[in-house]
């Protein structure tokens, strides 16, 4: 007899006997998933006493703290994003578009990890031979590195119990399946179940687990934020397919900050770390060209220089087209509106395209000024001085607002050979200006535009 399956909503927890596109309780679409038979609650068990020993509440003062046990992965850019190394007993989810280099990164860290611990690399995508060939190319040859080509979650758990590795790498969560479920691998229910099991494995055995996940076209792994809530750490590997730079960013980290980035370059022998991202991101910058301006953004505690490019052309259609790559779309609209109303540029009838070079995403308001200058420079077809950097937040009245960590940003600006920096005149705290750097202090965007364009 076929076991009866039960379905439940991942949003509100409502249980239904059959799958439905829309949850009848909360009305959300695509949230109903299958629950494994073993876990379906039997009727009447609600009040029954559990046989599993339960944990009891402890006084907080009695709970042992101490630092988490961390180890280095051999890639300091990855260690930085993880908050100073991988934590024992944690589960890290690495997401990214296909072909971005997730498998490559994971295989490369095996070299260092297998020096002092046992590593099991489970792949549902490639055969052992394929992984071995790639490992040879990446010069990974650890004695303690074990490979397993497997899709069945049960077999993976068994292998972990037998081998007792210190680190488990799963490539990828979408190819793993739990035989108790009738849905296909990669469905939300399967992905959730498999992650839950791996999470229990990590906590129970003190095992560090890295899980690779493919992102869908909306940019998330599996359903909307389903996995992100469960795991300890979510990393996204980003970059443009046709460019060699890759940026690793933490979206969630229970053991560290989330604003750090790691920069890598894809080479023919795998990923190389880029310890000096500003230089790499500015390489090949066009000189004396209208529509480009350099800014300095804080990525975690590290200042990074980035080039903002803009193209403003008269619109051929009634509604002007605006696209933004590397900036929040609404931020671009806001800056365009301020530029028209407070800067006096008749930009409202123009198409505007914004791009941040190198796949960087600038979500800091400090990059507003550079965006605005790039737009104005393209509109007036006049180039910005090559040795100038712009830092500042643009307010709705056209005023420029001070930004954090200005001193640190100025040091980085000077270190890369720039000699002029346009900044808001009101800056908080005492500022140490590096030798050889001329500060152009301005109050509002009109002053900024007349100072440099
Ligand atoms: P891969 O790690 O397989 O991507 P993912 O697991 O994220 O899907 O990387 C695939 C791409 O990386 C592929 O297009 C080729 C490129 N690559 C190199 O350029 N050099 C290398 O040494 C390796 C291993 C891959
Ligand atoms: Mg892969």
User: Tokens 């850019």 sit at which residue?
Assistant: 77
Q: Is 99 in the pocket of ligand 1 (CB under 6 A)?
A: yes
Ligand 1 probe mutation, 101, 247, 272, most atoms within 8 A of CB: 101
Q: Is 336 in the pocket of ligand 1 (CB under 6 A)?
A: no
Model pTM score: 0.78
Q: Which of 326, 301, 281, 257 is nearest to 409 (CA)?
A: 301
Cα(162)–Cα(84) distance, integer angstroms = 30
234-254 burial: b if 16+ Cβ within 10 Å, else e: bbbbbbeeeeebbbbbbeebe
How far is CA 326 from each of CA 47, 239, 310, 404, rounded to the nearest angstrom?
53, 11, 12, 20
User: Tokens 């006096």 sit at which residue?
Assistant: 344
Q: Is 24 in the pocket of ligand 1 (CB under 6 A)?
A: no
String of DSSP letters for 212-244: EEEB-TTSSBSSTTHHHHHSSEEEEEE--TTSS
User: Order of strands, edge to edge, in the sheet holding 15-16?
Assistant: 15-16, 6-9, 32-35
Q: 3-state SS of 238-279? A: ECCCCCCEEEEEEEEECCCCCCCEEEEEEECCEEEECCCHHH
Pairing of strands 420-424, 438-442: parallel
pLDDT string in tens for the chain (453-residue length): 445 677 888 777 778 888 888 888 888 888 888 876 554 444 444 444 444 557 788 888 888 777 778 989 999 999 999 999 999 999 999 998 888 999 999 999 999 999 989 999 999 999 999 999 999 999 998 889 999 999 999 999 999 999 999 999 999 899 999 988 888 888 888 999 999 999 999 998 889 999 999 887 776 776 667 788 899 999 999 887 667 888 898 989 999 888 788 999 999 889 999 988 888 888 889 999 999 999 999 987 789 999 999 999 999 888 999 999 999 999 999 999 999 999 999 999 999 999 998 878 898 999 999 999 999 999 999 999 999 999 999 999 999 999 999 999 999 999 889 999 999 998 767 888 999 999 999 999 999 999 998
Q: Does residue 161 sit in helix, strand or coil?
A: helix
Return the CA Rg of the chain: 26
């Amino acid at each position: 007899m076929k076991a009866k399956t039960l379905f439940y909503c991942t949003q509100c927890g409502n249980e239904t006997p059959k799958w439905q596109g829309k949850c009848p309780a909360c009305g959300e679409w695509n949230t109903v998933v299958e629950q494994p038979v073993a876990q379906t609650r039997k009727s009447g068990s609600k009040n029954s006493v559990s046989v599993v020993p339960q944990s009891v509440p402890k006084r907080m003062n009695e709970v042992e703290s101490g630092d988490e046990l961390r180890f280095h992965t051999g890639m300091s850019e990855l260690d930085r994003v993880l908050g100073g190394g991988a934590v024992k007993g944690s589960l890290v989810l690495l997401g990214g578009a296909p072909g971005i280099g997730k498998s490559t990164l994971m295989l490369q860290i095996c070299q260092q990890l297998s020096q002092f611990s046992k590593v099991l690399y489970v792949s549902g995508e490639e055969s052992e031979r394929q992984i071995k060939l790639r490992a040879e190319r990446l010069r990974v040859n650890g004695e303690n590195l074990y490979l397993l080509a497997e899709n069945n979650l049960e077999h993976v758990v068994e292998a972990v119990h037998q081998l007792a590795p210190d680190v488990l790498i799963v490539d990828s969560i979408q190819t793993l399946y739990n035989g108790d479920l009738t849905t296909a691998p990669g469905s939300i229910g399967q992905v959730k179940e498999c992650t839950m099991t791996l999470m229990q494995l990590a906590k129970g055995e003190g095992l560090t687990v890295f899980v690779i996940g493919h992102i869908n076209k909306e940019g998330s792994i599996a359903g909307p934020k389903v996995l992100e809530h469960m795991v300890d750490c979510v990393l996204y590997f980003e970059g443009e397919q046709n460019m060699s730079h890759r940026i690793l960013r933490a979206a969630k980290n229970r053991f560290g900050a989330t604003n750090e980035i790691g920069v890598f370059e894809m080479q023919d022998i795998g990923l190389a770390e880029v310890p000096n991202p500003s230089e790499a991101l500015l390489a090949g910058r066009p000189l004396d060209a209208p529509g480009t301006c350099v800014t300095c953004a804080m990525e975690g505690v590290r200042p990074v220089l980035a080039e903002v490019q803009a193209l403003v052309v008269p619109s051929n259609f009634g509604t002007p087209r605006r696209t933004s790559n590397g900036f929040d779309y609404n931020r671009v609209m806001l800056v365009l509106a301020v530029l028209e109303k407070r800067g006096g540029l008749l930009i409202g009838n123009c198409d505007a395209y914004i791009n941040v070079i190198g796949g960087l995403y600038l979500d800091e308001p400090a990059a507003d000024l550079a965006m605005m200058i790039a737009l104005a420079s393209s509109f007036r077809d006049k180039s910005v001085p090559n040795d100038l950097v712009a830092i500042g937040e643009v307010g709705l009245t056209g005023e420029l607002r001070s930004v954090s960590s200005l001193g640190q940003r100025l040091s980085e600006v000077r270190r890369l050979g720039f000699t002029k920096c346009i900044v808001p005149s009101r800056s908080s705290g005492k500022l140490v200006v590096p030798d050889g750097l001329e500060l152009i202090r301005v109050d509002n965007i009109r002053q900024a535009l007349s100072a440099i364009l």
